Structure 1
């Protein structure tokens, strides 16, 4: 856990389309394997795009932002709203004055790797059931 002090987290300059948005964040938690983390992020007025290389679930806690993925019409999100953005998305953000969010972020495996891991896990479960290994109900 951190003290919660927000630190500068500049937006990639080539992503900024209007204004001079100032973004800050602080890490709240991180999983032991480094594949998931939670942070608080805020940003001042501006228009910019964001390229997502992770899955992100956002809970807006203050202010508002109008966001579009280029496929659906833009939607304004305010305090209390929740939004999921998948890895690979490019979203266009318009922050009129200020926004603050809690972001739950998760690195994802490529689909082929995730499929292989699920298959291996299922095979392991099936083998352990057949052999009776690991049953919590077996008598000692």
Structure 2
């Protein structure tokens, strides 16, 4: 059995993913998503997501890196700094952060979501990976990621 899962040519099943109505500031943004992948331990996910025009709050309870595929969005952080993201741009939103999203027409993104690991635990993981590399236990590529 292979460790690689291929989904070439499979039909994508978009599903409605409504924004919390209490977060919507202006308009009636319609959103959809589909799950592309998830890690075996369910600490990381990859989603495709799109949204029509509207202004809304977004509260992040997990680290999220976004890569804009199509359209644009203007993001305002809690310091009042605005940045516009267009196709090819990416941004990282840390767990616990907040942003106001303004979508003028449409935006499509790929979102990489990861549950942050507490620092003490991350130190232990890195130590174990280093020890495994030193003892030549396991694949070099996987062991070298941390």
TM-score by length of 1: 0.81
Q: What SS does the corresponding residue of 1:88 show, helix, strand or coil?
A: coil
**Highest CA radius of gyration, 1 or 2?**
1
Q: What's the counterpart of residue 87 of structure 2? A: 79
Give distance in 2, aligned partners of 1:78 and 1:54: 23
Give distance in 1, aligned partners of 2:47 and 2:129: 35
1:4 Cα offset (Å)? 2.1
Question: Counterparts in 2 of 1:81-96, with a 5 A limit?
Answer: 81-96=89-104
Give distance in 2, aligned partners of 1:91 and 1:74: 10
Give distance in 1, aligned partners of 2:73 and 2:125: 42
The Cα offsets for residues 82-118 of structure 1, whole Å up to 9 and x where unpaired, read as 1111111111000001000000110113x3xx31452
Q: What SS does the corresponding residue of 2:50 show, helix, strand or coil?
A: strand
- Larger displacement relative to structure 2 (13-22 or 67-76): 67-76
Pick closer, same or farther for the CA change 1:123–1:69 going to 2, 3 Å: same
Give distance in 1, aligned partners of 2:126 and 2:70: 41
Structure 2 spans left out of the alignment, 5+ residues: 1-6, 138-146
Pick closer, same or farther for the CA change 1:12–1:125 going to 2, 3 Å: same
Structure 1 spans left out of the alignment, 5+ residues: none
Pick closer, same or farther for the CA change 1:32–1:3 going to 2, 3 Å: farther
Q: What SS does the corresponding residue of 1:14 show, helix, strand or coil?
A: helix
The Cα offsets for residues 56-92 of structure 1, whole Å up to 9 and x where unpaired, read as 1100000100001122511110011011111111110
TM-score by length of 2: 0.78
Q: CA RMSD in A?
A: 2.3
Q: What's the counterpart of residue 43 of structure 2? A: 35
1:6 Cα offset (Å)? 1.3
